[in-house]
A and B are shown apart, each in its own frame.
Chain A
Amino acid sequence: MSPGNWNRGTRIVALLGIAAVLTSVASAASVSEMVDSNWREQLARFFSMRDASLRFALTGSILLGLSCGLLGSFIVVRRMALVGDALSHAVLPGVAFGFLWGMTKDPVAIFIGAVIAGLMGTTVVSLLTKTTRIKADTALGLVLASFFAVGLCLLTMIQNLPTGNKSGLDKFLFGQAAALGADDIRLMAIVTVCAVSLITLFYKELLATSFDAGFAQVAGIPAEWIHHGLMLVLAAAIVIALQAVGVVLVSAMLITPAAAAYLLTDRMHRMLFLAGGFGVLAGVAGAFFSFVGRGLPTGPLMVIGASTVFTGAYLMGPRHGVVARWWRQRSRAARTERENTLKALYHVWENDGFRDVGVTLADLAQRRRETLDDALGRSRELERHGMASVSRDAVYFTPQGRRRAAEIVRNHRLWELYLTNSANIAPDHVHEDAEKIEHVLGEKTVRELERRLDYATEDPHGKPIPGPRDIHGGLATGANPREGEA
């Protein structure tokens, strides 16, 4: 649904969304507590990219945002959010052991240790569910918290060592992108490139096994292997994100950008692109605000950034967004009301034998059993949409409006006839149904109905069913039907 095709309603929603985002960004920038006193200087420093640690922080954020977004897409559609959470907590003891290996913050050692710990965690979960009555959610929670506890024990022990205080390991809890060094970036780049390549190469296998693992297996795709491969790459992506996002919150970076993408598209490959993009956006935002904000932990900031994007998609998504849907419902309700007014006008006119050109407001009010004011309001509404014109105390159809009125009445009566004939429903039971259907019958269905009913001319109550001549006849030449109406 490209912006060029958006109707007026969607465009207004989009503008509101942009305004909301700008307002919130502005107010965030004004949170003085959060921001260093000379924040303008900080901003300048940021954009000039002179700080090496800043360059690393940004590059790292981009890399992890991309890999977390891509892999998170599969986590979301495979409903593995809890598995991702457990896996990301379970890696902590591995981080500690990785440090202890060389008594230094060696990215490779930490990476290997963490991946091994993560895979051990998933193995334990699998064993637990296979050998005991313990259910999957209990097993995951158990592994999550127990492994994490072991990791915390080790961490607090390490912090007591003389070298421990400078280990930088506490950054692994909540993340600090500024702590990223050249070695870290290299590792992150390798893992991200691997992840992207594997997803591209095995895209169809991943797609098939995510959608319907049973069928994929039968069709010859090695579903088990794909699952294990995904878990391995997932563990790697989690581990490279640890230093910047922290153990506790990295699973949010997997889920939230992908969930935002999930709300905005109906095709998997587009979801992957969007998720990667949102991940990068969240990562960069986190790094930025951390830099500007006196070195606050980047993890929470990235997650809040991702959640903001998600909220935006939730509210503003053109198809599934809550605001857009509410807007559509409102327009639909308004359109139904207009058509009901047209119907009432037509009925009055018909009862009059199609004599007078206009219908008095009084008659309209009486027909709908409403007040004169209501009738005037309705007529004005029709006028706004080019269906009628109001003058003094009468309403006059435009050719447009008259056509639509005849169509609605035709739909109603055709449907009543169809229900009475084909479904054998008593004539006095069909009215409610027809009241609803008349607004939504498409032209193709109407043709089919007319054909099936042998082009009948009367409804079950003896009222004439408007035919094509009644609808289009009398249409003044040169009248242009407006798009989106009728």
Chain B
Amino acid sequence: MSELIPAFDWQRVMIDPWTINFSLYGWIALMGFLVATACGLVGNYLILRRMALMGDAVSHSVLPGLVIAFLLTSSRGTLPMFLGALAAGITATVLIEAIHRKTRVKQDAAMGIAFSTMFAIGVLLVSLYSEHVDLDADCVLYGEIAFIPLEPMVTWLGVTLGPVSLVRMGVVLLVVVGLILVFYKELLIASFDEALARATGVNPTWVHYALMSVLSVVIVSAFESVGAILVIAMLILPGATASLMTDRLAVMHGIAVVHAALSAWLGIVLGVWLDCSIGAAMVVGGAGIFTLVWIGSLVARWHRESRGGWGDDRGPA
């Protein structure tokens, strides 16, 4: 067991990544932060609308879309990726509706059947064509964020922006932030009160589909970094942590960003120390932060109640 956990060398784990190895870890940390932030911001809306399962479904079903796009175009270009993901997302939705609307199979089972079948097909394709596709089956699960710095760099107007995936993620994040800022009120109303939304001219169905599309884009962009399953954590953890601390959406967004930064940092720390997958380490870090906040909230509540007040309980009147 001792050989499993290397010694915690402060210099190597905490200092070096930000100094000597910064050219390597800098990009990784930044990518982690971008992924976690984008996922966290979109994930806030999933949590509010009780659609966490949607994140699960979309992340499983995009895989065959991605693989087929890679196979057809023999490239990892952005456009084929997004198109493949979009096609996969639509297929999944069609399948789920076909199952639970036409038979007595309920929605939860219908979703499970649809997205696990699509995921299985994706994994099979990856295994079959592993020579043609730059993916390997295990990386589908936990991504390969450590390879980000090895990608070709993007330069724009003479400035080196960063590795391809990172720039792509950055653009996606900017778009997400932009959409949230511009449509803040609409998203808020549509998530809390559909009737009010309709009355004020906001169409909840449009909001739903827009959210699903943005979700698919974010998941696909995050796929290479953290893989299919971990992206679910990235979607939910920041928002869940925030919901323990506040009920205001704007504050939730803020806390999500902080959580993302901390998770990215912790991911580097754990990844360097334990020599494990950095993507998984980021999620473990994020889960650790969540657990601390959770325990903290329980302690705070116990403390309040033992002093005998109402606390934040809304009693009668």
Contacts and interface: CB of A to CB of B under 8 A. Distances in A.
A153 B276 contact: yes
Contact of B124 (A128, A133, A142, A304): A304
A89 B236 CA distance: 16
Interface string B88-132: 000000000001001111101101110011011101100110000
B240 interface: yes
A135 B1 CA distance: 37
A141 B55 CA distance: 9
A316 to B, nearest CB: 12
Interface residues of B, number: 60
B281 interface: yes
B127 A79 contact: no
A248 interface: yes
B55 to A, nearest CB: 7
B53 A158 contact: no
Contacts of B230: 145, 148-149, 152
Contacts of B109: 76, 79, 81, 255, 259
Contact of A146 (B4, B111, B141, B233): B233
Given A148-B229, A152-B230, A304-B117, A131 B298 contact: yes
A296 interface: yes
B105 A252 contact: no
A453 interface: no
A262 B222 CA distance: 37
A79 B106 contact: yes
B117 A303 contact: yes
A133 B245 CA distance: 11
Contact of B137 (A76, A153, A173, A262): A173
A145 B137 CA distance: 18
A153 B112 contact: no
Contacts of A174: 123, 127, 137
A259 B105 contact: yes
A322 B103 CA distance: 8
B224 interface: no
B280 interface: yes
Nearest to B4: A157
B1 A300 contact: no
A67 interface: no
B106, B124, B294: residue with the most chain A Cβ atoms closer than 10 Å: B124
B128 A34 contact: yes
Contact of B120 (A89, A146, A303): A303
A297 B137 contact: yes
Contact of A134 (B142, B243, B281): B243
B284 interface: yes
B237 A300 contact: no
Interface string A253-265: 0011001001100
B194 interface: no
B97 to A, nearest CB: 13
Contact of A81 (B103, B111, B138, B287): B111
A132 B239 CA distance: 13
Contact of A153 (B111, B270, B294): B270
A194 interface: no
Given A259-B105, A307-B120, A149 B53 contact: no
A153 B35 CA distance: 19
B104 A300 contact: no
B113 A255 contact: yes
B244 interface: yes
A146 B104 contact: no
A300 B121 contact: yes
A137 B275 CA distance: 32
A132 B233 contact: no
A82 interface: yes
Contacts of A217: none
Contacts of A280: none
A149 B232 CA distance: 10
Contacts of B240: 134, 138, 142
Contacts of A140: 52-53
Interface string B123-163: 11001100000000110011000000000000000000000
Contacts of B128: 33-34, 296
A177 interface: no
B106 A141 contact: no
B274 interface: yes
A251 B112 contact: yes
B38 interface: no
A407 interface: no
A376 B119 CA distance: 54
Interface in B203-259: 229-230, 232-233, 235-237, 240, 243-244
A320 B104 contact: yes
B34 interface: no
B52, B106, B109, B142: residue with the most chain A Cβ atoms closer than 10 Å: B109
A160 B123 CA distance: 24
A161 B4 contact: yes
B50 interface: yes
A310 B113 contact: yes
Contact of A252 (B99, B120, B237, B274): B120
Contacts of A82: 53, 56, 108, 112
A89 B52 contact: no
Contacts of A304: 117, 120-121, 124
Contact of B56 (A135, A141, A150, A170): A141
B116 A296 contact: no
Contacts of B52: 135, 137-138, 140-142
A152 B271 CA distance: 12
B4 A100 contact: yes
B116 to A, nearest CB: 4
Contacts of B124: 296-297, 300-301, 304
Given A153-B280, A314-B99, A256 B113 contact: yes
B3 interface: yes
B50, B52, B111: residue with the most chain A Cβ atoms closer than 10 Å: B52
18 contacts: A34-B128, A76-B106, A79-B106, A79-B108, A80-B108, A141-B52, A145-B283, A170-B138, A173-B137, A252-B112, A252-B120, A255-B116, A296-B124, A300-B123, A303-B117, A303-B120, A304-B117, A314-B99
Interface of A: 33-34, 76, 79-82, 84-85, 89, 100, 128, 131-135, 137-138, 140-142, 144-146, 148-150, 152-154, 156-158, 160-161, 170, 173-174, 248-249, 251-252, 255-256, 259, 262-263, 296-297, 299-301, 303-304, 307, 310, 314, 320, 322
Interface of B: 1, 3-5, 47, 50-53, 55-56, 99, 102-106, 108-109, 111-113, 116-117, 119-121, 123-124, 127-128, 137-138, 141-142, 229-230, 232-233, 235-237, 240, 243-244, 270, 274-277, 280-281, 283-284, 286-287, 290, 294, 297-298
Given A137-B50, A303-B116, 10 more contacts: A146-B233, A153-B276, A153-B280, A157-B4, A252-B120, A262-B105, A300-B119, A303-B117, A304-B124, A307-B113
